[in-house]
Chain A
Amino acid sequence: MKQIKIISLSLIFFISTVNLLSQQIVSGKVVSSDGETLVGVNIAIEGTYVGTITDMDGEFEFETEEVAGKSLVVSYIGFSPLTLNLDDVDSRNIVICLKESMTSLNAVTITAGSFAADDKKRASVLEPLDIYTTAGSLGDINGALKTLPGTQPASDDGRLLVRGGDASETKTFVDGLLAAKPYYSKVPDLPTRGRFSPSLFSGTVFSTGGYSAEYGQALSSVLILESSDVALEAITSVSLMSIGGELSNTWCSNNRSTSLGVSYTNMAPYYSLADNRLDWTKPTEATGINFMHRQKFDNGAMLKVFSTGDYGVSAFNSNIGDEITNIDTEGGNAYVNVNYSVPTGENSFLKTGIATTIDDQRQLAGMHRTSDDELSIEVRATMVNAISDGIELSYGIADAYTNYKQAYQHLGSSQSWNGGVKDHILAGFIEPEIKLSARFAFRPGLRLEYSSALAKMNISPRLSVAYKTGKNSQLSAAYGQYYQNPVNEYLKFTTDFNYEKSTHYIASYQVGSLKKRLLRMEAYYKQYDQLVTYDMGQHTYDLNFNNNGDGYAKGIDIFFRDRETIKRTDYWVSYSYIDTKRQYKDYPQKVSPSFISEHTFSAVAKYFVGAINTQVGATWIMASGRPYHQPDDSEFMNRKAPMYNDLSLNLSYLTHIAGYSTIVHFSMSNVLGRKHLVGYQTIPSGNGQPDTLMPLLPDIKQFMFLGVFISIN
């Protein structure tokens, strides 16, 4: 018995010893391909639980029974995993170098020229909600974008004027398809605003230059709006505003949502209180409707229907010199955008879509009656194919059809005129995005267009590069050639034109993160060629059109956003410097156009006062005076208007009414009560009389807005 005990004891000892003897140490260090220490990397013996993670110095050490024939698996988020055979290395001193995964969220993204407001994109500088909460924007997407560098404040226009370009040089896209009329029809004397409510979108990319070959027909800028995804909750919302009301409802089921909204705007009650510069005989009255449908299918396909419609009337008396002219407008617009994207393989998908705009406007200005009817249809198909970890290829074709008609009639005489243009712009593009590493990416692109009206083709090469210089910093550059058809206002007379052309060169540097502090600086040079020129002839219809204009724009844009330094406060500041001159239209020589401010500074701040559940916001925009021309001056466009200085405030109070979440919103523009003279416009009299100078002043000196937004769910 004793013997057995001894045997058993020695057996135990033996087994334990064997166990102890076979324990071997595996140790080493893990670094990234840039030599950076990686902390928390998971190291394991393949197929077992044995392993550890790297410490603060990127080092690791653990014991295991057997190393011969075993493999070590090294994995870390954002990096490509690595397997190495322990037979091939000195298991006590392994140096492992991990390569950053190119699909990781931290990998380089191409940002030159573009501002994104999207919480999915790493390169974002704004969040979707920012568009809403920016004081002075009055719920208009463009209003919020005007606080970004590279744009002109041009409060008398309301449209986006980017880096020396005029309003026609910016195109808007919804879900990748053209929105031909993104603004309400512009009436002389008055700024217009964006047609689409910011609440319909979950992402915005605003490119101030150097954009992808996927987009064309824009010399300066593209605004890409992405409509919201499938709604998660059924919701009814009611908005009561000092200028009208809105009602919308969203129905929801699994992977599907539909919403319908109606709106009514009437400026009459507010104008009866406000002190208008214009004499309104029919303050703007409009109705609108929007319908959205989103559906996800089992195969991963997604259908998006986005449609809006509106109809409005307005009339006012305009004083030009001693003459009073009644300007009466009536207009309707319908926009339907249907988008279907479907996966075509493991790593590829096809996006198809069709967008239709129908826009009809009537205007009666004194004795002049014009009617404009435009139909625009864009059909598009784009393939996106991730060929490998580092290469994504996009290519597609599109046809944009326009049928524009204008009829003019002079009521006092038999004079009348009819014109118009029909045009198919066929386009194709191909653009690979190549990541050579997680730090370096470039995107060469090529776009081809053929316009049936011009009967000409254009080929535009594009190139963007981005290089990550650190964890939160990167350098980017972009180059591109951009072509655009002359606007319908000219094409209606003749199609004997060439394309207008611009060439962009952009270099930019960005450091920091949106969650904390972000600084972005961009320098650009833009060359304009083949701009449309004409001579003011005897009659507006025998202008001597040419493509002889040219020009340039160069400048620096700086953007800084800080959400960390001051508690509960979020602010951003922008500064733009621009030097631009162009000869186009009937300019006798190359000058800065009248919408350009050489220096523009803007600051937006938002502060949440928790105790009273109120967010206070302020937007301050200052811009140096804009050039204008006074008739009889010997030199063209030689005068400068005074500096523009606007401070807008808003308050959003969160509360509940009858148990439903409610936001009470108040905003006021030009709190300082300054006279916003932005320049003078020359009104040609045409009949030998001297031209008239009209001061460009806002209709209302200080605009106030009050709204109550109730959500019922």
Chain B
Amino acid sequence: MKSFIIVLITCMLVALNLSATNYHDVMKQNITKLIKSNSIEEINQIAATFERIANAEKEEWLPRYYSAYAHARATHFMSDTDSIDVSLDKAQAYINELLKSNEDESEVHVLQALVYSLRITSASRGYKYSSLSNKSLDRAMQLNAENPRIYYCRGNNVFNTPKMFGGGATKAEKLFTTANEKFESEKQENELWPSWGLYHNTQMLKKCKESN
């Protein structure tokens, strides 16, 4: 009888594994894939998967968040400004939904700030989008000052702003340092919670130290 139960449980586990419809597992699997991926095609596939999850799990905000984040991340592998704008338009569509459903979530505003910063593909867009980005980071800060990604994004904004407009590596270094401290003490609410930024932050910190 005991064995029969074991068999039954085994069977159930196998069945579960095969269908792979578990929200938590699919999310985790795709988040891991996204962080590792460096091909636009694969990232687009992942973004689409998050989109499908979002449509099936309407009450969850993380699928939409990750779909937007994937589209933002995809722009790192693009050079054509039109393609970048199209990808960011897709990200923005989800952020607009998130700003309605989860306005009080710090991470949503950080993602908005990231998307605004990525819009800066030419100097003429610099002023407008860096102002918007910083404004979003201000809101993220109000909601959770411990969020390391705020400091990381602000660091990037400052780093990419010309020195004469109050930017530069020296000022950015302080922000990346704070971000690193916050990353170390960061406690994820759950396994699926946003955790990106640490790797690039460390790289940027190194870059700042070298140039100063």
Contact = CB atoms under 8 A, between A and B. Distances in A.
A44 B164 contact: no
Lowest 3 CB-CB distances: which A-B pairs, in order? Answer: A8-B7, A44-B52, A53-B48
B164 A51 contact: no
A259 to B, nearest CB: 15
Interface stretch (B9-17, B147-155, B177-185, B199-207): B9-17
Contacts of B18: 16, 19
Interface stretch (A342-350, A593-601, A654-662): A654-662
Contacts of A613: 162, 164
Interface residues of A, number: 42
B52 A50 contact: yes
A438 to B, nearest CB: 16
Contacts of B48: 40, 42, 51-53
A180 B166 CA distance: 41
Contacts of A16: 14, 18
Given A4-B3, A15-B15, A662 B93 contact: no
Given A12-B10, A19-B18, A608-B123, A40 B131 contact: no
A523 to B, nearest CB: 29
A34 interface: no
Contact of B7 (A4, A40, A661): A4
Given A42-B52, A119-B128, 10 more contacts: A11-B7, A11-B11, A46-B55, A47-B55, A49-B21, A77-B89, A513-B82, A516-B82, A654-B165, A661-B166
A75 B166 contact: no
Contacts of A655: 164
A4 B2 CA distance: 10
Given A1-B3, A40-B44, A53-B44, A48 B21 contact: yes
Interface in A1-46: 1, 4-5, 7-8, 11-12, 15-16, 19, 40, 42, 44, 46
B165 A661 contact: yes
Given A5-B3, A65-B19, A129-B124, A232 B131 contact: yes
B104 interface: no
A391 B162 CA distance: 46
B86 interface: yes
A317 to B, nearest CB: 45
Contacts of A515: 81-82, 85
Contact of B164 (A1, A12, A119, A656): A656
A77 B67 CA distance: 13
A487 interface: no
Interface in A40-87: 40, 42, 44, 46-53, 65, 73, 75, 77
Contacts of A7: 4, 7
A105 B90 CA distance: 12
Given A8-B10, A19-B15, A52 B45 contact: yes
21 contacts: A8-B6, A8-B7, A11-B11, A12-B14, A42-B51, A42-B52, A44-B52, A47-B55, A48-B21, A49-B26, A49-B53, A50-B21, A53-B44, A73-B55, A77-B89, A105-B89, A119-B128, A513-B82, A515-B82, A613-B162, A662-B164
Interface string B112-140: 00000000000110001001100100000
A90 interface: no
Query: From DSSP, what is the main secondary structure of chain A's interface residues?
Result: mixed
B135 A232 contact: yes
Query: From DSSP, what is the main secondary structure of chain B's interface residues?
Result: helix
Max chain B Cβ within 10 angstroms of own Cβ: one of A49, A50, A53, A232: A49
A49 B52 contact: yes
A49 B81 CA distance: 31
Contacts of B14: 12, 15-16
A77 B11 contact: no
A127 interface: yes
B160 interface: no
A542 interface: no
B56 interface: yes
Interface in B13-57: 14-15, 18-19, 21, 26, 44-45, 48-49, 51-53, 55-56
Contacts of B90: 77
B15 A48 contact: no
B82 to A, nearest CB: 6
A19 B19 contact: yes
A233 interface: yes
Nearest to B49: A49
B31 to A, nearest CB: 14
B164 A654 contact: yes
A59 to B, nearest CB: 14
A77 B93 contact: yes
Nearest to A615: B123
Given A16-B18, A50-B52, A127 B93 contact: no
Interface in A640-682: 654-656, 659, 661-662
A51 B10 CA distance: 27
B52 A51 contact: yes
Contacts of B44: 40, 53
B124 A127 contact: yes
Max chain A Cβ within 10 angstroms of own Cβ: one of B26, B85, B124, B135: B124
Nearest to A564: B81
B41 to A, nearest CB: 8
B55 A44 contact: yes
Interface in A462-479: none
Contact of B86 (A47, A50, A77): A77
A8 to B, nearest CB: 3
Contacts of B124: 127, 129
B47 to A, nearest CB: 9
A625 B48 CA distance: 62
A634 to B, nearest CB: 55
Interface in A601-652: 608, 613
A73 B52 CA distance: 9
Interface string B81-100: 11001100110010000000
Contacts of B132: 232
Nearest to B124: A129
B140 to A, nearest CB: 15
A162 B116 CA distance: 38
Nearest to A233: B131
Contacts of A44: 51-52, 55-56
Nearest to A657: B164
A5 B4 CA distance: 9
A48 B82 contact: no
A613 B168 CA distance: 14
A357 to B, nearest CB: 31
Contacts of B89: 77, 105
Nearest to A608: B123
Nearest to A516: B82
Contacts of A49: 21, 26, 49, 52-53, 56
A125 to B, nearest CB: 14
A667 B113 CA distance: 37
Nearest to A130: B124
A662 B10 CA distance: 71
B161 to A, nearest CB: 10
A509 B12 CA distance: 65
A655 B52 CA distance: 49
A254 to B, nearest CB: 10
A177 B21 CA distance: 58
Nearest to A513: B82
